[in-house]
Chains A and B, each alone.
Chain A
Amino acid sequence: MSSNKKYWKSVEELENGSIVEALRNNEFVEAIPTEEFLGNNDAMSSSTSRRDFLKYVGFSTAAATLAACEGPVNKSIPYVLQPEQIIPGVADYYATSVFDGFDFANLLVKTREGRPIKIDNNTIEGAKFSANARIHASILSLYDNMRLKEPKVEGKTSTWSAVDAKIKSSLSDAKAEGGQVVLLTNTLASPSTEKLIAEFIALNPNAKHVIYDAVSSSEALDAFEAVYGERSLVDYDFAKASLIVSVGADFLGDWQGGGYDTGYTQGRVPKNGKMSRHIQLEANMTLSGAAADKRLAMSTANQKQALVQIYNVVTGSSVAVNLDAKFKSEVTKAAQQLKAAGSKGLLVSGIQDKNAQLLVLGVNQVLASESFTTSGARQIRKGSNEKVAQLVKDMKAGSVHTLIMSGVNPVYTLADSATFVEGLKKVKTSVSLSLKEDETALVSTIAAPVPHYLESWGDLSLTKGTYSLTQPTIRPLFNTKQLQDVLMSLNGMSGAYYDYLKASSSAFVSGASWNKVLHDGVNVGVSQSLSGGSADYTAAANALAKSKASAGFELVLYTKTGMGDGQQANNPWLQEFPDPITRVSWDNYVTVSNADAKQLELSNEIVANGGLNGSYANITTADGVKLENVPVIVQPGQAVGTIGLALGYGRKAALKEEMQVGLNAYPLYKGFNDVQSVTFEKAAGEHEFACVQGQKTLMGRGDIIKETTLEIFNTKDAEVWNEVPMVSLNHEEVKATSVDLWDSFDRSTGHHFNLSIDLNACTGCGACVIACHAENNVPVVGKSEIRRSRDMHWLRIDRYYSSEDTFEGDNERKENIAGLSDSLSTFNEMEKAGDNPQVSFQPVMCQHCNHAPCETVCPVAATSHSRQGQNHMAYNRCVGTRYCANNCPYKVRRFNWFLYNKNSEFDYHMNDDLGRMVLNPDVNVRSRGVMEKCSMCIQMTQATILNAKREGRVIVDGEFQTACSNACSNGAMKFGDVNDKESEVTKLSEDERMYHLLEHVGTKPNVIYHVKVRNT
């Protein structure tokens, strides 16, 4: 059907064909400047034609391809002089201690070929403080490539001798001019350093030492000082308390330094029908609130009144109290219980008010609480708000000549940072001794790099009467010098700080040699309790009762489990660590109660791609400091009228771009008060969160986290509170544990590992999560990947809220659903968490099922079961079908969507020569396209077996460990061999509280859980 019709594109074409024709042929209307790139005549006259060129390309590609068939030549370079202690391939452990001004612990550092790769807890007697998530992650901060590597003077790289000379001349100038010399440090808790500082001040009479804690506990220190005449904090012994009343103290978090969880959990596991009871009054939902048996969500203003009310009840005083009516009966009941508990009771408070802290001391004195002891007081916070304020004032007045800063970053952490920077300009010489070229180092005259604690010597007296040593585990990576060495050269002393430390240690050590203390890491001496001081508690109670509730919203600032005060903001492990409560990583946000969110039309929703989105809000303080576009998380359990915001985020200096997340809340931390009166309003826009857990509640599925009350636990049979699920077999209901699709293998020979997790002892602290990262080379994937649910955590800690007031209430509601339509609406409601819900944590890793669903679906047999109970994963065999992950009922398998090492798209520690030094050489680094999961630390169990074989001995209980069970100082995770009938884990596996996750599926896991019992 050919047609002879002709079509014109335009009238012009029809009428005046020639012009259009000419234009059509002349595609480029303007002349192409060919001369510009073809002007080079030499190049044009080359004898190589285009064809030749293509030939060369072809040949060279072929040659390169052929050459690539050859294997690479690997070099192996032995030591020239091998150090005596180091055997390549064998790990060495060094006892050390850490205190960075915020976190502290007694540690055991694992080194391989001279590089530290893992942090463990020092379990020797007397080593009392175990590592939290941040300390576990601090090993990666050692290998931070953004650390300050050379000293800098006025922004230019310099030498230490120049730095020393400059400081010395500045000091003599100050002496001549009569200017002030100020040494601004974090709390040091180091006896030898304090001695050095005293010597420095003796040599420079115009010098003074100001201690500055970024997150202050000054009020508690002031109160303790007022009563006992000493600037310390009480080291409470939570293990001895049978009733704990906490008024706004997140003692499982960072309250007064934290580190109380080990003692607390000792009393939380029911023994002989008894466990401690914990009542928490708080505004933000914290770890302590989550663990509490009874939690009252109330604003800080109400907490102050509640504290006075407790004081009234316990001491029989009658100070007028202005407590909200709805809390009155509950608080009075708690106070009466506290009084009844007597010496077994304990009251703690985190209210930043000297009067409140005085009342705590007073109440505990009246109770004669066994947990409250003045001996061995904590030395880990010494900062004084007034002295820091005075310093800023002095600087502004221009009376400070030389300022030497160490371990502090006031430009970032001070609320009034602008005034500080202004004052700094008037200081003649400012020296910032810092790990990084942080905000303060950037504006100081001299930025001097200090070594990481794993490269330094030092001593610590964390509590009175204990003496711990810090020893280097690696040679300094950069041209660094620690504060003590700098002070010694300023004091004109010769030699190294090591010699000074060794010489001065004898004064602090009781009955042990230097070598013994160095080996043990800690030495315990005697500490006398302080003679019972007193103060006018009634006046304090009166003053506290008169404090007024603020108008507007009450902003409660806190520190996050992952980030703390923000020192380690460049640590990708910590950035990716999901907050235990909100399960959000890579972010800082404001938490709002459901009621307030509704009123202000703030919302959170899961969008189509599975990510969590949230509204923005603006926060303005009374004196006009405004924080704009703060992402909002609607937080169940947040007290109405309060909002929560974490410190430690929003840093920019010396941080990789990926880590520059969140907003800096320090400008709101006015007067070192964590409670601020603010106005709070909705802002435009939506924020994209990286949240690893979308679901909030269990929706009545009580078999995932089994909870019961102490009363039921004590009075009823296990069948009632630890019900075995029933399944239908031949139309008859039978116990799920009795039915099996598969023939079981004989598992009685050799070892058979079980991991026991006690939900009663788990506080959700997350130390295990980071320890697992460090041990197993788990990659960091970044915010956008986390948002796509591609997190790589082998071990996650699920957090569930109850929809009703209790989980038991959820279960009942679900049981009482009648009919289909009711079920739809009820489940819809049960999806939402309650306003003051119960919270439970559940660590979930590969359950190592004896009848594993993943194993049967793998087309290439890459995952298989071992006789020892571990589910093996052969990465090199995996082809990445992901069938196993789809068939896993626990969703614990992780897929490598990308190559996460040596890939600039994932610019975290694995894309960095220095950062890769943290990798465990015994564990494979997985490549793209393979599935990975928890191996139950098979490299550790195999190493234990090998050591026993080599020494020709039987393995004793406790030798088998995993990274998570090692990291758990709360006793929540226990690992061992159930074929060893005497082992602790065997007893735990036979315990009445024991259950398996999703028992009705019949997977027969080797991870066991213990029913959570609450003492309501």
Chain B
Amino acid sequence: MKKVGNHNSTSRKMFFSLALMLTFSLTSIAQVAAPAAAAEVPVATQGGDPVKGKELFNSNCAACHKLDAKATGPMLRGISAKHDMPWLYKWIHNSADLIKSGDAAAVKVYEANNKVPMTAFPALSEGDIDNIIAYTSEPKAEAPVAAVGGAVAGAPQEGGGVSNSIILGALALVLAMLVVMLFLVNNVLRKVAKANGIEVAPKAATTPIWVAFAKNQFLVLVTSIFLLLAGAYFVYGFLMQIGVDQGYEPIQPIHYSHRIHAGDNEINCKYCHSAARVSKNAGIPSLNVCMNCHKNIAEVAESTATPEYSKAFYDEQIQKLYTAVGWDKSTQSYTGKTQPVKWVRIHNLPDFVYFNHSQHVTVAGIECQTCHGPVETYEIQKQFAPLTMGWCINCHRKTEVKMKGNEYYTKIHEELSKKYGVDKLTAAQMGGLECGKCHY
């Protein structure tokens, strides 16, 4: 593998330089060119198609295997070097038979992987398997193109910043020069006048403006009223913010990024927060829910990393999950030693308010984002809404209740729409503003 990697790097460098050149003229071409360059690397795979192989790999193998790390099954990159193809066909078609037949290699693999039998794939043709093996025999990709593109894209922005400050600096300089000039001119004129014996009439002693202001009682009164009102306005504003934690963004014990999960990977909110459908609590998912995916995802992709958070940083967070849930990555097994995660609660509704998620999520069909904001863009979760009573009430006043297809509402809809003379009813018209609906 290593050898192939080295061999590859020289050709890559050439392609990269080409790509770099192309970026200056047309970035899009470079992006097509880079994977094309990788694909052209010849590897001995008995003629399999790695592109098709990748598809097959992702749909059949990725649940238990990774290319570069051990998961439930062993890592698969370079598997063709370890076993010959006929053996691999047999193994993949029915590994249990192979183990039962006493094949030494098969038994060894079986035992090395905690005696977890591999699912049989009799449906995969030998051609399919060739494709998969071709994909697994591909060299490991290095130095992601995205980073290069990012650096290039960054340059013009930087230039813009410099020009702005230069203009501003120049303007300030001109202004300063004008002030100095004015002072100098004034000085010169004064000297000239003195030399010519012209007396500059001294200014008559006038009452200073603040004394005049203090003497005018009406003005003082108006100003103090104004100041008091302004003060009251700000004090009121300050007091009304007490206990309102909009934008509360605490540091969590594990840096969990909704951007990656809900944004990049488009995982449905209710996959993890499943309780929101049936319970008053949306619920922070228990760690076994995380492990549904993270059993196989021990590290993030290079492309997940951002300038702010590196791949190593994210990988460390996944490791924190493993520590908490007691998962030993190397043996792919649970140790039984768990450390529950103490998340910092972000949305703290007071005890005297009853709020039920299922009412809003399941019955009303409200999107999570309505109250929680664009969570899929949040790197760190924060409180989006003020969660004040006014905010709740406003929504109840405006929101029309989703009644269609819900038999519970049939009768009351008929009665209320007759009463109010409207077809659509708001939560308020349903009685959603009554104190006892939320306070008991």
Q: Please determine whether chains A and B interact with each other in the same assembly.
A: yes
Let me know if B345 is at the binding interface, CB within 8 A. Answer: yes
A924's nearest neighbour on chain B, judged by CB, is B352
What CA separation (Å) do A76 and B348 show in the bound complex?
A: 10
What CA separation (Å) do A954 and B358 show in the bound complex?
A: 18
Residue among B357, B410, B440 having the largest count of chain A Cβ atoms under 10 Å? B440
Tell me the minimal C-beta distance from B245 to chain A in angstroms. Answer: 6
B283:A77 contact, CB within 8 angstroms: no
B289:A88 contact, CB within 8 angstroms: no
Let me know if A923 is at the binding interface, CB within 8 A. Answer: yes
Stretch of A179-187, A269-277, A574-582, A863-871 at the chain-chain interface: A863-871
Let me know if B307 is at the binding interface, CB within 8 A. Answer: no
Stretch of B82-90, B296-304, B400-408 at the chain-chain interface: B400-408
Let me know if B35 is at the binding interface, CB within 8 A. Answer: no
Tell me the minimal C-beta distance from A109 to chain B in angstroms. Answer: 19
**Do A868 and B431 form a contact, CB below 8 Å, given A76-B343, A922-B354, A950-B362?**
yes
CB interface residues, B 325-380, toward A, < 8 Å? 325-326, 338, 340-345, 348, 350-352, 354, 356-359, 362-363
* Size class of the contact patch on chain A: 35 or more
A924:B440 contact, CB within 8 angstroms: yes
B280:A89 contact, CB within 8 angstroms: yes
What CA separation (Å) do A938 and B288 show in the bound complex?
A: 35
B408:A90 contact, CB within 8 angstroms: no
A872:B408 contact, CB within 8 angstroms: no
What CA separation (Å) do A189 and B352 show in the bound complex?
A: 45
Tell me the minimal C-beta distance from A752 to chain B in angstroms. Answer: 12
**Do A78 and B343 form a contact, CB below 8 Å, given A71-B245, A864-B435, A953-B408?**
yes
Chain B residues with CB below 8 A from A952, complex form: 405-408
Chain B residues with CB below 8 A from A935, complex form: 436, 440
Residue in A79, A872, A873 whose beta carbon sits within 8 Å of that of B286 in the complex: A79
Residue in B242, B283, B415 whose beta carbon sits within 8 Å of that of A749 in the complex: B415
Let me know if B419 is at the binding interface, CB within 8 A. Answer: yes
What CA separation (Å) do A155 and B340 show in the bound complex?
A: 37
Let me know if A991 is at the binding interface, CB within 8 A. Answer: no
Let me know if B190 is at the binding interface, CB within 8 A. Answer: no
What CA separation (Å) do A996 and B281 show in the bound complex?
A: 40
**Do A76 and B362 form a contact, CB below 8 Å, given A89-B275, A749-B415, A874-B439?**
no
**Do A74 and B280 form a contact, CB below 8 Å, given A82-B286, A925-B351, A935-B436?**
no
B361's nearest neighbour on chain A, judged by CB, is A950
Let me know if A325 is at the binding interface, CB within 8 A. Answer: no
B contact residues, total (Cβ < 8 Å):
56
Residue in A78, A746, A873 whose beta carbon sits within 8 Å of that of B285 in the complex: A78
* Interface 1/0 per residue, B421-440 and A, CB below 8 Å: 00000000011001111011
Chain A residues with CB below 8 A from B411, complex form: 954
B250:A73 contact, CB within 8 angstroms: yes
Let me know if A902 is at the binding interface, CB within 8 A. Answer: no
Chain A residues with CB below 8 A from B416, complex form: 749-750
Let me know if B278 is at the binding interface, CB within 8 A. Answer: yes
Tell me the minimal C-beta distance from A1000 to chain B in angstroms. Answer: 28
Stretch of A364-372, A796-804, A882-890, A941-949 at the chain-chain interface: A941-949
CB interface residues, A 82-129, toward B, < 8 Å? 82, 87-90
Chain A residues with CB below 8 A from B440, complex form: 872-873, 922-924, 935, 938-939, 942
Let me know if A80 is at the binding interface, CB within 8 A. Answer: yes
CB interface residues, A 1-33, toward B, < 8 Å? none
What CA separation (Å) do A938 and B436 show in the bound complex?
A: 8
**Do A876 and B439 form a contact, CB below 8 Å, given A80-B287, A953-B407?**
yes
* A-B contacts, CB under 8 A, total: 156
A955:B408 contact, CB within 8 angstroms: yes
Residue among B354, B435, B436 having the largest count of chain A Cβ atoms under 10 Å? B436
What CA separation (Å) do A503 and B408 show in the bound complex?
A: 46
Chain B residues with CB below 8 A from A876, complex form: 350, 352, 439
Residue among B344, B407, B434 having the largest count of chain A Cβ atoms under 10 Å? B434
Let me know if A551 is at the binding interface, CB within 8 A. Answer: no
B280's nearest neighbour on chain A, judged by CB, is A89
B435:A874 contact, CB within 8 angstroms: yes
Chain A residues with CB below 8 A from B242, complex form: 69
Let me know if A63 is at the binding interface, CB within 8 A. Answer: no
Chain A residues with CB below 8 A from B409, complex form: 949
B437:A80 contact, CB within 8 angstroms: no
B343:A746 contact, CB within 8 angstroms: no
Residue in A69, A875, A942 whose beta carbon sits within 8 Å of that of B352 in the complex: A875
Let me know if A51 is at the binding interface, CB within 8 A. Answer: no
Tell me the minimal C-beta distance from A915 to chain B in angstroms. Answer: 18
Chain B residues with CB below 8 A from A78, complex form: 283-287, 340-341, 343
CB interface residues, A 44-94, toward B, < 8 Å? 69, 71, 73-82, 87-90
Tell me the minimal C-beta distance from B289 to chain A in angstroms. Answer: 7
Let me know if B243 is at the binding interface, CB within 8 A. Answer: yes
Chain A residues with CB below 8 A from B118, complex form: none
Let me know if A748 is at the binding interface, CB within 8 A. Answer: yes
**Do A870 and B436 form a contact, CB below 8 Å, given A74-B345, A82-B286, A950-B363?**
yes
Tell me the minimal C-beta distance from B39 to chain A in angstroms. Answer: 44
Chain B residues with CB below 8 A from A69, complex form: 242
Chain B residues with CB below 8 A from A75, complex form: 342-345
A946:B435 contact, CB within 8 angstroms: no
Tell me the minimal C-beta distance from B277 to chain A in angstroms. Answer: 9
A924:B351 contact, CB within 8 angstroms: yes
Chain A residues with CB below 8 A from B348, complex form: 71, 74
Residue in B245, B279, B344, B415 whose beta carbon sits within 8 Å of that of A748 in the complex: B415
CB interface residues, A 945-965, toward B, < 8 Å? 945-946, 948-955
A955's nearest neighbour on chain B, judged by CB, is B408
B278:A87 contact, CB within 8 angstroms: yes
A873:B345 contact, CB within 8 angstroms: no
**Do A948 and B408 form a contact, CB below 8 Å, given A80-B288, A748-B415?**
yes
Chain A residues with CB below 8 A from B437, complex form: 866, 942
Chain B residues with CB below 8 A from A868, complex form: 431
B418's nearest neighbour on chain A, judged by CB, is A749
Let me know if B38 is at the binding interface, CB within 8 A. Answer: no
Let me know if A516 is at the binding interface, CB within 8 A. Answer: no
Tell me the minimal C-beta distance from B159 to chain A in angstroms. Answer: 43
CB interface residues, A 169-186, toward B, < 8 Å? none
Tell me the minimal C-beta distance from A642 to chain B in angstroms. Answer: 48
What CA separation (Å) do A873 and B407 show in the bound complex?
A: 30
**Do A867 and B356 form a contact, CB below 8 Å, given A76-B345, A749-B419?**
no
Chain B residues with CB below 8 A from A866, complex form: 431, 434-437
Chain A residues with CB below 8 A from B436, complex form: 864, 866, 870, 872-874, 935, 938
Chain B residues with CB below 8 A from A942, complex form: 354, 437, 440
CB interface residues, A 869-914, toward B, < 8 Å? 870, 872-877
Let me know if B146 is at the binding interface, CB within 8 A. Answer: no
Tell me the minimal C-beta distance from A902 to chain B in angstroms. Answer: 13
* Interface 1/0 per residue, B84-113 and A, CB below 8 Å: 000000000000000000000000000000
Let me know if B412 is at the binding interface, CB within 8 A. Answer: yes
Chain B residues with CB below 8 A from A946, complex form: 356, 358-359, 363
Tell me the minimal C-beta distance from A875 to chain B in angstroms. Answer: 6
Q: Closest 9 CB pairs between A and B?
A: A872-B436, A89-B279, A82-B286, A89-B281, A79-B286, A74-B345, A76-B345, A89-B280, A78-B284
Q: List 13 A-B contacts (CB under 8 A).
A: A73-B344, A80-B324, A80-B340, A82-B286, A89-B280, A89-B283, A89-B357, A864-B434, A873-B435, A874-B436, A922-B354, A949-B363, A954-B408
Q: Using a CB–CB distance below 8 Å, which chain B residues touch chain A? A: 242-243, 245, 250, 275, 278-281, 283-289, 324-326, 338, 340-345, 348, 350-352, 354, 356-359, 362-363, 405-412, 415-416, 419, 430-431, 434-437, 439-440
Q: Using a CB–CB distance below 8 Å, which chain A residues touch chain B? A: 69, 71, 73-82, 87-90, 746, 748-750, 862, 864, 866-868, 870, 872-877, 922-925, 935, 938-939, 942, 945-946, 948-955
Given contacts A864-B434, A949-B359, 14 further A-B pairs with CB under 8 A are A74-B344, A77-B340, A80-B286, A80-B288, A88-B279, A90-B279, A862-B435, A872-B435, A876-B352, A923-B440, A950-B358, A953-B407, A953-B408, A955-B408
